[in-house]
Structure 1
Amino acid sequence: MTESLDATDWSILAELQQDGRVPLTELGRRVSLSASATTERVKRLEAMGVITGYRAGVDLVKAGFAVLAVVRLKYPGSQHQPLHRLLDERSEILECLRTTGDDCYLLKVAATSMAHLERLINELAQFGSTTTNLVYSQTLPYRGPREPQPES
């Protein structure tokens, strides 16, 4: 990134992460800017690639996904494209992180039932060994980044 973010940019990001549908005039009021200055800031953040999109938060249980799990995958192969294709095809896989350590991938998956989760794990197992942890509750939902604080 060629431009750094200032405190106003971070305020805008915090507000948009709370409510991506907030009208720009209201957003400007919240961050003490005019509507036109707010619009320019948001457009700049989008052009910089800092804002990558606007999404709806979804309650997984109310949407029919009663089982949430974290799956660790040890992938011994060097060709990752087949796995990437499966990740693209399976909407139950909500997030995938490539990691260091014993496991190559960390996946967050949502399933409608334990049987559904088992079928998904069986598909993932074709790529390597899996370890699955069921999620009891989400203590801290994704909240997005906040302005970094200076190190002391």
Structure 2
Amino acid sequence: MAIPNASLGLDEIDQRMLEALARNARISLKELAEVAGLSSPSAAERLRRLEERGVISGFTVDIAPEAIGYPLQAIVRIRPLPGQLHVVERIIQETPEFIECDKVTGDDCFIGRLVVRSMGELDGILDKITERAETNTSMIKATPVKRRLPPLSR
């Protein structure tokens, strides 16, 4: 039995709903209500409150990049040259192959995840950045832990 996480205001019902939505964001309200042990109107109200509180910020679909023509993924650490931080950030934002990027502390300013069709395509993207930043690239071989929910209970 999960212990309610009082600091987040998540009780066991909220946790069950979030876990069900993480497994399948397209779950019907009726099925979600069954998982939570609630009526459909009560589940809908809970869901609305979770959204209002910012616990749920959206519903999404998980697409396999290789299935749509992007067989390669890379992690790129980026350290902008002096005075180039905002320019590099804009380049990253405008490059659709960056499917995720975090601004971080430490030696590098950005850590990004790219999807590409070929090594040549990766080189072309990095060439736009390396005029204004140092990069360090690692190719992704596998993803043993896909994006998942943080622990909801202690």
TM-score normalised by the chain length of structure 1: 0.89
Q: Which residue of 2 aligns with 1:65?
A: 70
Cα 1:78–1:42 change in 2 (3 A) is farther
Q: Which residue of 2 aligns with 1:105?
A: 110
Percent identity for Structure 1 against Structure 2: 28
Contact 2:88/2:132, CA 8 A, preserved across alignment? yes
Point out 4+ residue stretches in structure 1 off by more than 4 angstroms: none
Cα 1:50–1:77 change in 2 (3 A) is farther
Q: Helix, strand or coil for the counterpart of 2:68?
A: coil
1:24 counterpart (25, 29, 43)? 29
Q: Which residue of 2 aligns with 1:140?
A: 145
What residue ranges of structure 1 are gaps of 5+ in the alignment?
A: none
Contact 1:7/1:147, CA 8 A, preserved across alignment? no
Cα distance between partner residues in 2 of 1:52 and 1:33: 22
Q: How many residues align?
A: 148
Q: Helix, strand or coil for the counterpart of 2:62?
A: coil
TM-score normalised by the chain length of structure 2: 0.88
For 2:58, give the aligned amino acid: G
State the Cα distance separating 1:86 from its structure 2 match.
Answer: 2.1
Deviates more, 1:70-79 or 1:25-34: 70-79
1:91 aligns to 2:89 (yes or no): no
State the Cα distance separating 1:11 from its structure 2 match.
Answer: 1.5
Q: Which residue of 1 aligns with 2:3?
A: none
For 2:151, give the aligned amino acid: R
State the Cα distance separating 1:132 from its structure 2 match.
Answer: 0.1
Q: Which residue of 2 aligns with 1:114?
A: 119
Cα 1:77–1:52 change in 2 (3 A) is farther
Q: Helix, strand or coil for the counterpart of 2:18?
A: helix
